[in-house]
Structure 1
Amino acid sequence: MATVSGIHHVTAICDTAGQNIAFYADLLGLRLVKRTVNFDAPDSYHLYYGDETGRPGTLVTFFAWPDALQGRLGTGQAESIAFAVPPGSIEHWADRVGRRGINAEEVERFDERLLRFHGPDALRLELVEAEVDTEPWAGGSVDPEHAIRGLYGVTLAVEGYERTADLLGTMGYDPVGEERDRFRYTVTGDAGSILDVRCRPDLRRGRIGVGSVHHVAFRTADGASQREWRETLAERGLDVTPVLDRKYFESIYFREPGGVLFEIATDGPGFTVDEPEASLGEELQLPEWLEPRRAEIERDLPMIFYR
């Protein structure tokens, strides 16, 4: 049976690309590993951040939609993204984000220390002290002793968690804890192995927009295992897309029973297929089927201004 080995990436929606780069690269110290476009709507940027090479499990990505409405938090969404930082790093990060005028709150959850705050588009973010066997990007703006090691996990908001939990069991996730309305699941893997499900019948349905998570992608090794997953999900009655070529990986998409958009993405081929590791993220990259439209696409894309 094919397995997933944690989260591959999380994709959210931001307002402007420049503000997004200033926050996630300059403040959080992640590497901008790919500057491309939304393949389904190439008049908007798609930005990828991660470790030195953008390995699965370290990636957070953004569609830049400057004219979109603000998202509304609710059920059927991932309500927050959590990054892993080394134990003893919370004070460093509280000071770092505080100097940018960002209000942050230190809390404990499942006996772990974490710092929660909002990104520039009101996206909910968390830094969790955790032992994760990954290395930060050496060229980042944060002291490597405290730098982000990759994704820790995400929190999903659903009206009722039972059917979501059943699907997670099929995907190889095991229940490991419960606190009030929060149910924790984990899968054997590297970074991004934690998934929290919050049962929130008090909330109305969420609305996708600026400051919200668009989808959560899970890792699978290759195309063969991905095809197995597609068959398994279809047998469960889920509406699964065909395999889509995303150039840096292949993807299938479906909505889990609680309404959150899930993706299963292959680990490869990775981000060095169209530019060398040393210069990842420096130039606009397009898939070969959009390359004939490069002049038109570059003309229509907004200029990136850094704040």
Structure 2
Amino acid sequence: MEAIKHIHHISAIVGNPEENIRFYRDILNLKLIKKTVNFDDPGTYHLYFSNNSVANGTILTFFNWPNHVKGQVGAGQVETIAFRIPQGTMDLWEQHLNNHAITTKRNQLFDQETLVFKDTHDLPLALVESETTSDNHDIIGFHGVTMLSSNPVQTIATLTNDMGLSEVNDSNVSVHLTTAGEWQHHVIVHKTTPEKRVRWGTGVVHHIAWSMPTNETQLAWREQLSNKGYHLTEVKDRNYFNAVYMKEHGDIIFEFATDGPGFTVDEPFDELGTHLMLPPQYEERREELLKILPPINI
């Protein structure tokens, strides 16, 4: 079985959808590509953002839970989402964020200079420079994530032995891994297990999804992981991709998502994110859901 090549998308829980859009579209300059609902909870929005090319591996999605209790960061979750920016743009980004009253700090979180900050709803984010130059300073896509595992040894084993990620560095505090693909997405697994478990709520990453090139690849991965003792869901139709979920042995939710059919199945590219798109099973409830969902007027 070919190793996992890259992250497909990352999904987090945040609050008010307009605040969410203002931050990611208007400050981080990401493209809002889909306004839909949580397929398992249609009374809440599910908003999708990406880079301007809408490439898989750049997709960030949000479950918008306005007025919901704040989440608790803890064992069993992805902690920090890191974006990759063009070479030489760290200072520009730092100044840009500071101009928007966003507190930033530099550290070596990804074994190189990393700019860390939080979004409007306290979700931990980071920026890491790529080796690629660009005429602008727009976010290229994901650089990677940090993980808080309830069993770091088992999580590392899953990522390396079962999914094909490679070890870059093993320090006293974390293990640094990368995916096998050309994008080389980075994963930092902290060795210390937090005392508290994650509690779902705003400001917390819900799951990370790994790219499956085809439906056949996804089914083969599902069978292989099932044979190794993992418990996986059936294939779920998410309209823009098919999804299979599992909780790895460190309690982090992993999804395996197909690259197709993509986000233009219900909207042309130049209209992405401009309409509320409902999956077929909820279309007849559109008027009812519009009365429940908070208005988005930006």
Q: TM-score, normalised by structure 1?
A: 0.92
Partner of 1:298: 290
1:185-235 Cα offsets, whole Å, 9 max, x none, are: 111224461111112234321211100000000001011010011111111
Of 286-295 and 39-48, the range deviating more from structure 2: 286-295
Partner of 2:152: 161
**Is there any run of 5+ residues in structure 1 with no aligned partner, and where?**
136-143
- 2:101 equivalent to 1:101: yes
Partner of 2:137: 146
Partner of 2:166: 174
Partner of 2:181: 189
Query: Residue type matched to 1:159 in 2?
Result: S
Question: Is the 1:58–1:192 contact (alpha carbons within 8 Å) kept by the matching residues of 2?
Answer: no
Residues 212 and 202 (structure 1), Cα distance of their counterparts in 2 relative to 1, 3 Å cut: closer
Q: Quote the offset at 1:160 in angstroms.
A: 3.3
Partner of 2:52: 52
In the alignment, the residues of structure 2 paired with residue 242 and residue 131 of structure 1 have an alpha-carbon distance, to the nearest angstrom, of 39
In the alignment, the residues of structure 2 paired with residue 35 and residue 190 of structure 1 have an alpha-carbon distance, to the nearest angstrom, of 30
Question: Is the 1:10–1:215 contact (alpha carbons within 8 Å) kept by the matching residues of 2?
Answer: yes
Matches within 5 A, 1:152-301: 152-169=143-160, 170-191=162-183, 193-301=185-293
SS for the counterpart of 2:108 is strand
Q: Quote the offset at 1:67 in angstroms.
A: 2.9
Q: Quote the offset at 1:287 in angstroms.
A: 1.3
**Structure 1 stretches (4+) deviating beyond 3 angstroms?**
none
Partner of 1:140: none
Percent sequence identity over aligned pairs? 39
Q: Quote the offset at 1:239 in angstroms.
A: 1.4
Partner of 1:141: none
SS for the counterpart of 1:297 is helix
Partner of 1:122: 122
Question: Is the 1:57–1:190 contact (alpha carbons within 8 Å) kept by the matching residues of 2?
Answer: no
Q: TM-score, normalised by structure 2?
A: 0.95
In the alignment, the residues of structure 1 paired with residue 216 and residue 84 of structure 2 have an alpha-carbon distance, to the nearest angstrom, of 30
- 2:32 equivalent to 1:32: yes
Partner of 1:71: 71
Query: May I ask how many residue pairs the two structures share in their alignment?
Result: 297
Q: Quote the offset at 1:132 in angstroms.
A: 5.5
1:231-257 Cα offsets, whole Å, 9 max, x none, are: 111112211000000000000000011
In the alignment, the residues of structure 2 paired with residue 111 and residue 181 of structure 1 have an alpha-carbon distance, to the nearest angstrom, of 12
Partner of 2:17: 17
Of 54-63 and 109-118, the range deviating more from structure 2: 109-118
What is the root-mean-square deviation in Å for CA atoms of aligned residues?
1.6
Query: Residue type matched to 2:147 in 1?
Result: L
**Is there any run of 5+ residues in structure 2 with no aligned partner, and where?**
none
Partner of 1:112: 112
